[in-house]
Structure 1
Amino acid sequence: MSGFLNVLWNNKKWHRLILFTAAFMLYANTLRNGFVLDDNIVLCKNEFVKKGFAGIPDILTHDSFKGFFLNDQSGVTVTGGRYRPLSQVLFAAKYPFLGLQPMYYHLINIFLFAILCVLMYGLVSKLLSQRYPEHAAGLALLSTLFFAFHPIHTEAVSNIKGLDEILSLLFSVMSFSAVLRYIDQTKAIQLLWAFLFFALAFFSKESAAAFLVLIPLGIWMFRNMDWKKMVMVLLPLLLASVVYFAARTAAIGFTVFGEATRDVLTNPFLKIRGTSVTDASLTERLGMIFYCLGKYLQLMIFPHPLTHDYFPQHVRLQGLNTPIPFISLLLILGLLLTAWLLRKRNALVAYALILLIIPLILISNLVVPMGVPMGERFAFTASWGFCLLAAYGLYKLNIHRPALASAVLIVSLGLFAAKLISRNTDWKDEYSLFSTDVRTSVNSVKAHDELAYHLIDKIKNSKDTATTRMLVSEALPHLEKAVQLYPRLANALFLIGNLNYLRKDYEKAIATYEKYLELVPTNSDVIRNLQVSYREYGRDLAVRNTDLDKSVDMLIKSLKIKPSDPRLLESLGIAYGARGEFDLSIDYFDKAIKADPKNGMVRVNMANTYYKKGDKARATALMSEAYKIDPTIGPKLMTMQKPY
Structure 2
Amino acid sequence: MSQKKLIHIVLVVLGFIMYAQTTSYEYALDDKMVITNNQITRQGFEGISKHFQHDAMDGFWASEYGIPVEELNDKSRVSGGRYRPLTLTTHSIEWALFGQNPGVSHTVNALLYGLLGLLIFMWLRALFKEEETDPLKTVSFWATVLFLVHPLHTEVVANIKGRDEILSMLFAVFAAFKLIKGFDTKKSKEIWIGAGLMFLSLLSKETAAPMVGVVPVSLWFFRNSTVKEIIQVSWQPLALALLYILIRSSVVNPSPSEPTELMNNPFVNASGSQKWATIFLTVAAYVKLLFWPNPLTHDYYPYHLPFIDAEQRYAEMSHPAALLGLALTATLAIWSLWGIVKRKKSAFGAIFFVATFILVSNLLFPIGVFMNERFMFMPSLGFAIAVVWFGKKLIEEKQSVAIAAKGLLVVAIAGFAILTFGRNPAWRNDQTLALTDVEVSDGSAKAHMAAGDALLKRIREEKNQQKKNEMINEAFQHLQTSLNIYPGYFPPLDLMAQVYFHAGNYTQSAKLYKQCADRKPGKYQFVKNIIACASRLKQDEQYQKAVEVYDIALSVDPSNTDALQQGAEVYARNLGNISAAKNMLERALSVAPNDPQLLQKMGIVYAMSGNPGEAIGYFEKAMQLAPNDASIVKNTGVTYMQLGNREKGQALLNRAKQLKSPTAQ
Deviation string, structure 1 residues 600-626 (Cα, Å, up to 9, x no partner):
99999999xxxxxxxxxxxxxxxxx9x
Residue 359 of structure 1: aligned partner: 356
1:412 aligns with 2:404: no
1:20 aligns with 2:20: no
Q: Give the distance between the partners of 1:554 and 1:44, measured in 2 at CA.
A: 36
Q: Give the distance between the partners of 1:522 and 1:50, measured in 2 at CA.
A: 28
Pick from 290, 294, 308: which aligns with 1:304?
294
Residue 403 of structure 1: aligned partner: 403
Residue 138 of structure 1: aligned partner: 138
Listed as ranges, the matches of 1:498-517 within 5 Å are 498-516=498-516
Query: Contact 1:449–1:478 (CA<8 Å) still a contact in 2?
Result: yes
Pick from 374, 391, 402: which aligns with 1:394?
391
Listed as ranges, the matches of 1:416-495 within 5 Å are 416-457=416-457, 472-495=472-495
Deviation string, structure 1 residues 218-242 (Cα, Å, up to 9, x no partner):
1111112222221112201211211
**CA shift for structure 1 position 251:** 1.4
Deviation string, structure 1 residues 81-129 (Cα, Å, up to 9, x no partner):
1101111112222322222222221221111111111111111111112
Deviates more, 1:485-494 or 1:196-205: 485-494
Q: Give the distance between the partners of 2:112 and 2:553, measured in 1 at CA.
A: 60
Q: 1:390 to 1:449 in 2, by over 3 A?
A: same
| Aligned partner of residue 401 in structure 1, secondary structure | helix
Q: Give the distance between the partners of 1:96 and 1:575, measured in 2 at CA.
A: 55
Letter of the 1:565 counterpart: L
Letter of the 1:60 counterpart: F
1:107 aligns with 2:107: yes
| Aligned partner of residue 477 in structure 2, secondary structure | helix
TM-score, normalised via structure 1 length: 0.80
Residue 247 of structure 1: aligned partner: 247
Q: 1:76 to 1:536 in 2, by over 3 A?
A: closer
Q: Give the distance between the partners of 1:525 and 1:430, measured in 2 at CA.
A: 24
Deviation string, structure 1 residues 271-299 (Cα, Å, up to 9, x no partner):
2xxxxxxxx43333323322222211111
Query: Contact 1:79–1:370 (CA<8 Å) still a contact in 2?
Result: no
**CA shift for structure 1 position 147:** 0.2
**CA shift for structure 1 position 363:** 0.7
Pick from 12, 21, 29: which aligns with 2:21?
29
Q: Give the distance between the partners of 1:526 and 1:35, measured in 2 at CA.
A: 28
Listed as ranges, the matches of 1:273-292 within 5 Å are 280-292=270-282
| Aligned partner of residue 78 in structure 1, secondary structure | coil
Residue 168 of structure 2: aligned partner: 168
RMSD: 3.8
Query: Contact 1:551–1:575 (CA<8 Å) still a contact in 2?
Result: no
Deviates more, 1:511-520 or 1:568-577: 568-577
**CA shift for structure 1 position 383:** 0.2
1:380 aligns with 2:372: no
Query: Contact 2:130–2:138 (CA<8 Å) still a contact in 1?
Result: no
**CA shift for structure 1 position 516:** 3.7
1:67 aligns with 2:59: yes
| Aligned partner of residue 138 in structure 2, secondary structure | helix
Residue 565 of structure 1: aligned partner: 564
Query: Contact 1:501–1:509 (CA<8 Å) still a contact in 2?
Result: yes
Pick from 257, 260, 263: which aligns with 2:258?
260
Q: Give the distance between the partners of 2:550 and 2:76, measured in 1 at CA.
A: 44
- Provide structure 2 residue ranges, at least 5 long, that are not aligned to the other structure: 306-312, 586-596, 611-641, 643-665
Deviation string, structure 1 residues 413-456 (Cα, Å, up to 9, x no partner):
11111110111111111111111111111121222222333444
Q: What is the number of equivalent residue pairs in this alignment?
A: 581
Query: Contact 2:336–2:347 (CA<8 Å) still a contact in 1?
Result: yes
Pick from 282, 285, 290: which aligns with 1:295?
285
| Identity between Structure 1 and Structure 2 (%) | 28
1:40 aligns with 2:32: yes
Q: Give the distance between the partners of 2:129 and 2:551, measured in 1 at CA.
A: 84
Q: Give the distance between the partners of 1:243 and 1:435, measured in 2 at CA.
A: 44
Q: 1:132 to 1:306 in 2, by over 3 A?
A: farther
Q: Give the distance between the partners of 2:53 and 2:467, measured in 1 at CA.
A: 45
Query: Contact 2:168–2:204 (CA<8 Å) still a contact in 1?
Result: yes
Q: 1:47 to 1:529 in 2, by over 3 A?
A: closer
Letter of the 1:48 counterpart: I
- Provide structure 1 residue ranges, at least 5 long, that are not aligned to the other structure: 1-9, 272-279, 578-584, 608-624, 626-644
Deviates more, 1:555-564 or 1:391-400: 555-564
Deviation string, structure 1 residues 571-613 (Cα, Å, up to 9, x no partner):
5569987xxxxxxx45336668996867999999999xxxxxx
1:49 aligns with 2:41: yes
Q: 1:339 to 1:250 in 2, by over 3 A?
A: closer
Letter of the 1:181 counterpart: K
Listed as ranges, the matches of 1:219-238 within 5 Å are 219-238=219-238
**CA shift for structure 1 position 77:** 3.8
Q: Give the distance between the partners of 1:522 and 1:387, measured in 2 at CA.
A: 53
Q: Give the distance between the partners of 1:269 and 1:21, measured in 2 at CA.
A: 42
| Aligned partner of residue 69 in structure 1, secondary structure | helix
Q: Give the distance between the partners of 1:60 and 1:98, measured in 2 at CA.
A: 22
**CA shift for structure 1 position 324:** 2.0
**CA shift for structure 1 position 509:** 2.7
Deviation string, structure 1 residues 540-593 (Cα, Å, up to 9, x no partner):
8976xxxx9x9998776667646972443455569987xxxxxxx453366689
Letter of the 1:140 counterpart: S
Deviates more, 1:319-328 or 1:461-470: 461-470
**CA shift for structure 1 position 468:** 6.3
Q: 1:76 to 1:393 in 2, by over 3 A?
A: farther
| Aligned partner of residue 68 in structure 1, secondary structure | helix
**CA shift for structure 1 position 130:** 7.9
**CA shift for structure 1 position 490:** 2.3
Deviation string, structure 1 residues 236-269 (Cα, Å, up to 9, x no partner):
121121111111112125x2x6523332222222
Deviation string, structure 1 residues 63-91 (Cα, Å, up to 9, x no partner):
00111111453277434111011111122
Q: 1:508 to 1:161 in 2, by over 3 A?
A: same
Q: 1:404 to 1:346 in 2, by over 3 A?
A: farther
Q: Give the distance between the partners of 1:207 and 1:599, measured in 2 at CA.
A: 65
**CA shift for structure 1 position 347:** 2.7
| Aligned partner of residue 225 in structure 1, secondary structure | coil
| Aligned partner of residue 197 in structure 2, secondary structure | helix
Letter of the 1:30 counterpart: T
Q: Give the distance between the partners of 2:584 and 2:512, measured in 1 at CA.
A: 29
Q: 1:589 to 1:182 in 2, by over 3 A?
A: closer
Q: 1:224 to 1:133 in 2, by over 3 A?
A: farther
TM-score, normalised via structure 2 length: 0.78
| Aligned partner of residue 60 in structure 2, secondary structure | coil
Deviation string, structure 1 residues 294-334 (Cα, Å, up to 9, x no partner):
21111101000111111112134334454322320111111
| Aligned partner of residue 209 in structure 2, secondary structure | helix
